[in-house]
Amino acid sequence: MKKLSLQFLALFLAPMICYSQVDYDKIKKATDKVFIKNVIIHDKPGSTIEYGSILIEGGIIKEIGKKLNEPNDALILSADSLHVYPAFIDALSHSTIKKKEDGDRPKVKFPGAPPDDVAGITPGKSAFDDIDAESGDIKTMRELGFGISHIAPRGRMLPGQTAIVSLSGKTKNEILLKENVAIYSQLRTSPGVFPSTMIGVLTKFRELYKQAEEANNYLTKYAASPLGMQRPAYSEAVTSMIPITKKKQKVFFKAESAKDVHRVLALKKELGFDLVLTDVKQVYPVIDKIKSSNVPVMVSLDLPEKPEEEEEEEEEKEDDKKDKEDEEELTSEEMKKLKERKAKAYNDYVSQLAKLDEAGVTFGFSWIKAKPKKMLENMQTLIENGLSEDTAMKGLTKVPAQLLGISNIVGTAEKGKLGNLIISTAPIFEEDSKIKFMIVDGEVFEYEIKKKKKKSDTGEEIDIAGTYTYEIDQFGASGTFVITNDDDDYKLIMTSADDGNEMNAKNVIRDGNSLSFDLKVEEDGFSMDVSVGLDFEDEDFEGSVSTDFGAAPIEGSKVDPN
Amino acid sequence: MKNIFLIFISLLIFSGISGQQSGDILIKNGTVITITDGIKENTDVLIRNGKIDQIGENLSAGDIETIDAEGLFVMPGIIDAHSHIALDVVNEATNPVTAEVFVGDGLDPYDVGIYRALAGGVTISHAMHGSANAIGGQCETIKHRYGEVDPEAIRMDGAPRTIKFALGENPMRVHGERQGIVPATRMGMEQIFRNAFEEGKAYANAQKAFAAGKADFPPLYNTRNEVMADILKGDIIIHCHSYRADEIYMLLKVLEDYGVKKICFQHVNEGFKVAPELAAYGAHASVFSDWWAYKFEVYYSTAYNAAILTENGVVTSINSDSGELIRHLYHEAAKTQRYGSLTDNEALKLITLNPAIQLGIDDRVGSIEKGKEGDIAIFKNHPLSIYAIPQMTIVDGIVRFDIDEDNNDMRLDVDPDESIPTFYESETHSHHGEGDRCMQDVFEFLNHKH
Amino acid sequence: MRKINWIIACCLFISVQLFGQQVKKSTFGDVLLKNATIVTVTNGTIEGDLLIKDGIISDIGSSLSANGATEIDCSNKFIYPGFIDGGTQLGLVEISSVSLTRDSDELGDYTPHMQALTAVNPNAVAIPVTRVNGVTTVFSKPTGDLFPGTGAVIDLHGYTPDQMYAGSKAVLMNYPSTGKRGRWDRRKEEDIKKDNEKAMKKLKDFWSQAEIYAKINQTGGEYNPQLAAMVPVVKGESPLLIEVNKKADILSALEWINKNEIKAVFTGVSEGWRVADSLVKYNIPVITGPVLRVPSRGSDRYDVSYTNPAKMLEAGVKVAIRSNETENVRNLPFNAGFAAAYGMGVEEALKAITIIPAEIFGISDKYGSLEKGKVANLFVCDGDPFETKTQIQYLFIKGWNVPMESRHTLLYDEFLERDPGIKE
């Protein structure tokens, strides 16, 4: 019996034994589990879990909440007190899509009737075909906080079908999440052949749509009963448009300017397809129209440059020179008026999203034109000008998730959803916030944080000796400590406010204006080793306290010797 | 009753809040040039809800915007039957026949050219497709409601559909000469028209067959043929860019064969050579005041064209085909008194009632009559005098140009990234210069070697 | 036999009259224009007579005696000096879309020696078309590139260029522009700047060569027509006509001519109103136009080109108006009319197309006004020649009574009542 079962086992195991490769050039992951503890989790818009933990297993969020048991077989991320957000979702871009070379196109005898591919009319083509799995876009987008991209092929007016990809993975198949999600369309002409103008594009779109409706009609009847009916001879372009006529697929239509938004909305009104306005740059003149049309909008963060700040007293000489130069173009009064107009225009752009939000329009963000690298910077500008952080966050997560029909697996940090997370050093939209970790599909990517040099770090060492008060909010602890400097030998004595216990610091090391030391805290007969790192600036300091139970921020200030 | 009253009031208020497109205005004491009913001195014109409500002396209208037109001339807003302002695209030059495109898809309400036209008393223009193709795209009649930024808001709703045809050198140059496809000669042009009409006819017949149950399926939707069929039905007015007498004559015969009556020839520089034929057919003519010699086909033309056509009974208008000329169409019309001896009213008709007839909107505009739309141009000095200075231009009862309220930079929006508004040198010879856009977009198209 | 011959001869004579083109010829002879309102331009308006003798205005006064001159009663009519257009390509371009009929733009940047007078076609169809609107004299100029050539002032009558030449020539220059050439010019700002720097260098190099040549003053020796053409300009004997429009370019041009002590006239000058003070400061006469053109910038007021001449004049600039036209030079009076309406006033606008261009081209001793001793370039009309309603009855160029006829009028005569008309 034993022999049989062994043989059976061997048979069963044989294929595995025969075909599993031994490859020592690859590192097999130590563990599939990731545990993040003591983080501030912004799990969904309007909700925060203070100092909670997350367990990711098999790429899925297994557990999320406060006071989770730390597993002993998971990778523990040192992300104490950092901020966690659901990873961003790019509502539409050309990430990972190979750039086409606009080389010599085939000569066409009748430019008015070119083959569909020359004219850029390929609504049936899948983005999958053009994915470059080694594209640097994956890394770039991920570094900025994106976990998922909705991608469209490059091309002319109807480049093809979009796909959803995960920004981690090595092969096309690993990257691909979903294919043939929607149709991408843009008012981009085909130079030298029809449609060579924007009005040609619009008219061709209309025609294809109507032909698709007819084709659908015919094909349905033909499928039911082909007897006596001519064989259908519709082009691929036409048949690929059928799903949008039935509203089974959305149309992501790029419309940058307000004029283009009007045009595309008029087209939608006429034909009736499910439209998503994409990459809209100039929103402010069309807010009402968008609102009443009830069409989702993906906004472009391609903001204009901030106008120069004028009249700095110190630079008077340069100013005179500049003035003279300026005067050479227009009169100084004209220049003044022009500057006012430009400033107003700039203001219109940067406050437009706040207004869009006020009007109650749901919007997300797309990245066809705007450079994602400037995203956080631009987002800060918009927030300064009235955009609520919640709305910004929603636009980067929940809204695109819902739009793409994947809100059941991404968009928020919830149990069961994909392990797509951003871990940042401070609230994500804050100026100095940096992303320390990205988790995409459960895979962890760590980023080096270059410590920002403090002002006092210019070589000037401040005198840190003195008496300080301290506060550790998380532990509800506070008190005072005294630093003494005896010929570069630093000593620190900490006194807890609760019980007046004095603790002597060990291993006190000073580095520039930073101080690190260890303490043994004894409370109620309970003893704990604590290590502390402090950064001093003028009269204040801030830093963190690490214990076995996690880290916590500490801050305080010097006490006036009087 | 009370309910109706409340609804009425709320409608009024509501129309005031949303982009109001028609207004109330009282123009007092001007010399009113009605066009259809003579000149009325010291007369008031009252406009309510964008329509001319009353014309008479000492009108009173309560508390509405009032303009003192004493010593000024009040005439109907000028209409330009051939223009390319307010368009982002003019020519889809890829095919000799592009009836399927529609310039109305590319309206640009931000074009400061609209304001400059208003500053010349022009309230309506016919935004046309260019002359690169034998059969070009459909055109749009627009009202100069400058200030509105929704392209829909400048359309003249209800104006008849129009389409651009082009005879002459341009289509032959673009297609025959540069692309090696028919038409390269005027013989080829005739066949292009006949072919397009036949295809439209066949399409319409196939549709009829389906409607009558004689076919299982309608012909596959084809925008171009839909439009050609509509032209055959008489639903679309053809505006045909043309020069030589022989090609004008050719088109008349082709149209006669297909029963198409609604035709207005544009430029029609040699129209005077076939004026009797045009008059007999009922064809209209929209001409330049004095452009000639820039192409061979206009080498044998005359500035007396408008006068000759008018004297021969052809409904004639003077157009600009230029962002420059549109600004002083009143002066261009006046040239018919130098090159010809048209009366004042005949000359002014060339830029008011006649272009309205040619665009099929003469029931609504083109003269100052009760019931017509409140489109008015007010001048200091008689509009036909060289010293005429437009003071105010009103569209649908709303002042869209006021010489006293001009802020110099009248652009509707400004690009915050633009350092200084660009300076454009003028080209050394006019007509082909900054004004002419009849062949816009063609240069880019032809130079895209593929 | 004789009778038949005589009949045949008669028939032939009649047939020639019927089927030959009824073109009138201009006639030369003494003419007394009587009882007119004479707008002299320089000496006010005089009611009286004007006597033309041997191609010259021999007398202006009241009750002049004819002494054998043909008498023309001009009661209720006006006499004006023939208009002078300070900038055209009249006679150099027949049909602008047919390249081989365009003779105004020769290849090469440095072609100041190209003579417009050589290429002017005295039989250009546009010439009669122009003069019947009262324009009797024009400056016809080459175009293109940096130094396009030497333009010439011509009277619009004569069968050879020499017969037409009015005694003044000028070397032209197109100052390198920092603006965009047109809406189709898609160069970026940096590229425009680079192109401009290149062009400025070309200008400076050529000018220094011209200066050297003028100093050495070669007579005989190696043939160098380009530099030879520049000598009068370098020596200050004749002005350089500089086409420049943009404010920054005008200021740069002023700097350049001051540095090199060049006597100059600026042409175009569409942004002259922005720099009028500088133009006055350096005493630069200006030939501006066309007045009927769109503003150069989208942000400009709609009437900047209409008011430009008036604004410059107000600041003290000497302003002449040109049409810059090829086939429609006849619109010169209307350009002046618009300038008059928009601030210049009729009197000054009239000067801008008569005496001022004459002064600028150095021919004011013979042209530009109705004065005893000046060339008989004038016309008789029934009103203000700026007004379109006015008709011109008689036209005189250098004393020749020129028929009021052109291709346009002949076509009018033929087709007003076409015969046969429509065939039933």
3-state SS, one letter per residue, for A140-202: HHHHCCEEEEEECCCCCCECEECEEEECCCCCHHHHEEECCCCEEEECCCCCCCCCCCHHHHH
- Structural domain count, chain A: 3
| Same-domain check for residues B190 and B313 | yes
What is the rounded distance in angstroms from the CA atom of residue A486 to the CA atom of residue B366? 99
| Same-domain check for residues A435 and A531 | no
* 3-class SS of residue B346: helix
> What was the pLDDT predicted at B275?
95
What is the rounded distance in angstroms from the CA atom of residue C187 to the CA atom of residue C199? 15
| Same-domain check for residues A430 and A478 | no
| Same-domain check for residues C53 and C160 | no
A562 pLDDT higher than 90:
no
Q: How far is B252 from chain A (nearest CA, A)?
A: 27
Range of the domain at B291: 78-364+423-446
Q: Can you tell me the mean pLDDT for A464-473?
A: 87
Range of the domain at C188: 83-367
What is the Cβ-side half-sphere exposure of residue A335, based on CA atoms within 13 angstroms?
14
> What was the pLDDT predicted at A454?
54
| Same-domain check for residues B245 and B295 | yes
Q: Is residue A364 part of a domain?
A: yes
DSSP label at residue C97: T
Tens place of pLDDT per residue across chain B (450 aa):
455 444 444 444 433 333 467 899 999 999 999 999 999 999 999 999 999 999 999 998 889 999 999 999 999 999 999 999 999 999 999 999 999 999 999 999 999 999 999 999 999 999 999 999 999 999 999 999 999 999 999 999 999 999 999 999 999 999 999 889 999 999 999 999 999 999 999 999 999 999 999 988 889 999 999 999 999 999 999 999 999 999 999 999 999 999 999 999 999 999 999 999 999 999 999 999 999 999 999 999 999 999 999 999 999 999 999 999 999 999 999 999 999 999 999 999 999 999 999 999 999 999 999 999 999 999 999 999 999 999 999 999 999 999 999 999 999 999 988 888 899 986 533 444 444 577 878 877 777 643
A2 pLDDT higher than 70:
no
| Same-domain check for residues A198 and A95 | yes
- Residue with the larger pLDDT of the pair A4 and B311: B311
CATH of residue B211's domain is: 3.20.20.140
CB-nearest to C411 from B115, B302, B324 is: B302
| Same-domain check for residues A426 and A544 | no
Give all strands of the β-sheet with C135-140 in edge-to-edge order. Answer: C83-88, C135-140, C150-155, C165-174, C240-244, C264-268, C286-288, C319-321
What is the rounded distance in angstroms from the CA atom of residue B180 to the CA atom of residue C255? 52
Q: What are phi and psi of A537, to 5 degrees?
A: -145, 120
Of A105-114, A259-268, B304-313, C59-68, the one with minimum mean pLDDT is A105-114
What is the rounded distance in angstroms from the CA atom of residue A112 to the CA atom of residue B11? 49
How many CB atoms are closer than 10 A to CB B256? 11
| Same-domain check for residues C328 and C403 | no
> What was the pLDDT predicted at C271?
95
Beta strand ranges found along A283-399 (DSSP E):
297-300, 363-366
CB C292 within 8 Å of CB C323: no
Give the pairing type, strands A297-300 and C319-321.
unpaired
> What was the pLDDT predicted at A503?
87
Taking the Cβ of residue A333 and every Cβ of chain C, the question of whether any pair is shorter than 8 Å is answered with no
Q: Is residue A315 part of a domain?
A: no
| Same-domain check for residues C324 and C340 | yes
Q: How many CB pairs under 8 A join A and B?
A: 139
| Same-domain check for residues A221 and A297 | yes
| Same-domain check for residues C49 and C89 | no
What is the rounded distance in angstroms from the CA atom of residue B377 to the CA atom of residue B119? 9
CB burial string B271-307: b at 16+ within 10 A, e below: bbbbbbbbbbbebbbbbbbbbbbbbbbbbbbbbbbbb
Q: Is residue C17 part of a domain?
A: no
| Same-domain check for residues A286 and A345 | yes
Given C325, C350, C367, the domain boundary residue is: C367
CATH of residue C47's domain is: 2.30.40.10
| Same-domain check for residues C194 and C269 | yes
Of B433-437, C49-53, C293-297, the one with minimum mean pLDDT is B433-437
CATH of residue A427's domain is: 2.30.40.10
A457 pLDDT higher than 70:
no
What is the rounded distance in angstroms from the CA atom of residue A451 to the CA atom of residue A457? 11
| Same-domain check for residues B136 and B213 | yes
CATH of residue B371's domain is: 2.30.40.10
Least Cα distance to A155 among A239, A235, A99, A236 occurs for A99
| Same-domain check for residues B267 and B315 | yes
Least Cα distance to C123 among C158, C149, C82 occurs for C158
> What was the pLDDT predicted at A7?
54
| Same-domain check for residues A78 and A46 | yes
| Same-domain check for residues B34 and B155 | no
| Same-domain check for residues B284 and B243 | yes
Q: C151-167, pLDDT tens digit by residue?
A: 999 999 999 999 999 99
- Asked if the Cβ–Cβ distance from B92 to A342 is below 8 Å, we say no
- Asked if the Cβ–Cβ distance from A328 to C299 is below 8 Å, we say no
- Structural domain count, chain B: 2
| Same-domain check for residues B210 and B139 | yes
| Same-domain check for residues C252 and C392 | no
Taking the Cβ of residue B176 and every Cβ of chain A, the question of whether any pair is shorter than 8 Å is answered with no
Q: How far is C102 from chain B (nearest CA, A)?
A: 11
| Same-domain check for residues A429 and A400 | no
| Same-domain check for residues A390 and A444 | no
**Which of A313-322, A551-560, C226-235 ranks highest by mean pLDDT?**
C226-235
- Asked if the Cβ–Cβ distance from A334 to C299 is below 8 Å, we say yes
Chain centroid to Cα C357, Å, comes to: 9
Q: C337-373, pLDDT tens digit by residue?
A: 999 999 999 999 999 999 999 999 999 999 999 999 9
Q: A318: Cβ–Cβ under 8 A, 6 or more apart, which residues?
A: none
- Asked if the Cβ–Cβ distance from C293 to B426 is below 8 Å, we say yes
What is the rounded distance in angstroms from the CA atom of residue A275 to the CA atom of residue A250? 6
| Same-domain check for residues A153 and A81 | no
Q: Is residue A231 part of a domain?
A: no
Task: Find chains touching chain A: ≥3 CB pairs under 8 Å.
Answer: B, C
| Same-domain check for residues B87 and B218 | yes
| Same-domain check for residues A391 and A426 | no
| Same-domain check for residues B247 and B318 | yes
| CB-neighbour burial class of residue B9 (10 A; exposed 0-12, middle 13-18, buried 19+) | exposed
Helical spans, DSSP H, in B183-304? 186-211, 223-233, 245-257, 275-281
Q: Is residue A507 part of a domain?
A: yes
What is the rounded distance in angstroms from the CA atom of residue C144 to the CA atom of residue C146? 7
* 3-class SS of residue C116: helix
Taking the Cβ of residue C93 and every Cβ of chain B, the question of whether any pair is shorter than 8 Å is answered with yes
Least Cα distance to C135 among C104, C157, C162 occurs for C157
Partners of B262 in the beta sheet?
none
Q: Is residue A434 part of a domain?
A: yes
Q: B190-244, pLDDT tens digit by residue?
A: 999 999 999 999 999 999 999 999 988 889 999 999 999 999 999 999 999 999 9
| Same-domain check for residues C344 and C390 | no
> What was the pLDDT predicted at C2?
52
- Structural domain count, chain C: 2
Q: Is residue C352 part of a domain?
A: yes
- Contact residues, chain A, for B101 at CB < 8 Å: 195, 197, 199-200, 203
| Same-domain check for residues C140 and C36 | no
CATH of residue C182's domain is: 3.20.20.140
Average pLDDT, chain C: 92
| CB-neighbour burial class of residue A19 (10 A; exposed 0-12, middle 13-18, buried 19+) | exposed
Q: Is residue C276 part of a domain?
A: yes
> What was the pLDDT predicted at A561?
66
Q: Which residue of B18, B84, B92, B407 to mutate against A (max A Cβ within 10 Å)?
A: B92
What whole-number percentage of chain C has pLDDT above 90? 85
What is the rounded distance in angstroms from the CA atom of residue A257 to the CA atom of residue A283? 8
Q: How many CB pairs under 8 A join A and C?
A: 10
First to last CA, chain C: 45
Q: A183-206, pLDDT tens digit by residue?
A: 999 999 998 899 999 999 999 999
- Residue with the larger pLDDT of the pair C46 and A324: C46
Q: Can you tell me the mean pLDDT for C200-222?
A: 86
Global confidence as pTM? 0.87
Q: Which residue of A328, A333, A335 to mutate against C (max C Cβ within 10 Å)?
A: A328
Tokens read off for A149: 């991209």
Can you tell me which residue has the tokens 């024009």? C138
> What was the pLDDT predicted at B7?
44
Q: Is residue B112 part of a domain?
A: yes
Q: Is residue C424 part of a domain?
A: no
What is the rounded distance in angstroms from the CA atom of residue A124 to the CA atom of residue A239? 8
- Contact residues, chain A, for C247 at CB < 8 Å: 328-330
> What was the pLDDT predicted at A511?
82
Given C367, C387, C407, the domain boundary residue is: C367
| Same-domain check for residues B264 and B360 | yes
Give the pairing type, strands C319-321 and C286-288.
parallel
What is the rounded distance in angstroms from the CA atom of residue A162 to the CA atom of residue A159? 9
| Same-domain check for residues B350 and B313 | yes
Given A396, A427, A452, the domain boundary residue is: A452
- Helices (runs of H) and strands (runs of E) counted in chain C: 13, 17
Chain A residue with Cα closest to B86: A259
Can you tell me which residue has the tokens 């002597």? A504
| Same-domain check for residues B73 and B143 | no
Taking the Cβ of residue A345 and every Cβ of chain C, the question of whether any pair is shorter than 8 Å is answered with no
> What was the pLDDT predicted at B418?
85
How many CB atoms are closer than 10 A to CB B329? 29
What is the Cβ-side half-sphere exposure of residue A277, based on CA atoms within 13 angstroms?
33
Q: Is residue A2 part of a domain?
A: no
Q: A470-491, pLDDT tens digit by residue?
A: 888 777 788 888 988 888 788 8
Least Cα distance to B326 among B51, B57, B128, B89 occurs for B128
| Same-domain check for residues C218 and C94 | yes
Q: Which pLDDT band holds residue C275 (cuts at 50, 70, 90)?
A: very high
| Same-domain check for residues C76 and C222 | no
Least Cα distance to C312 among C282, C283, C276, C279 occurs for C276
Q: How far is C92 from chain B (nearest CA, A)?
A: 12
DSSP label at residue B22: -
CB-nearest to B323 from C125, C294, C301 is: C294
Chain C residue with Cα closest to B300: C407
| Same-domain check for residues C49 and C132 | no
Range of the domain at A55: 31-86+410-452
- Asked if the Cβ–Cβ distance from B423 to C297 is below 8 Å, we say yes
| Same-domain check for residues C376 and C353 | no
What is the rounded distance in angstroms from the CA atom of residue C9 to the CA atom of residue C70? 32
Least Cα distance to C284 among C306, C315, C310, C308 occurs for C315
Tokens read off for A357: 């939000």
Q: Is residue A472 part of a domain?
A: yes
Taking the Cβ of residue A203 and every Cβ of chain C, the question of whether any pair is shorter than 8 Å is answered with no
Q: Is residue B152 part of a domain?
A: yes
CA angle C223, C229, C230 (to 5 degrees): 120
Q: How far is A158 from chain B (nearest CA, A)?
A: 18
Q: Which pLDDT band holds residue A1 (cuts at 50, 70, 90)?
A: very low
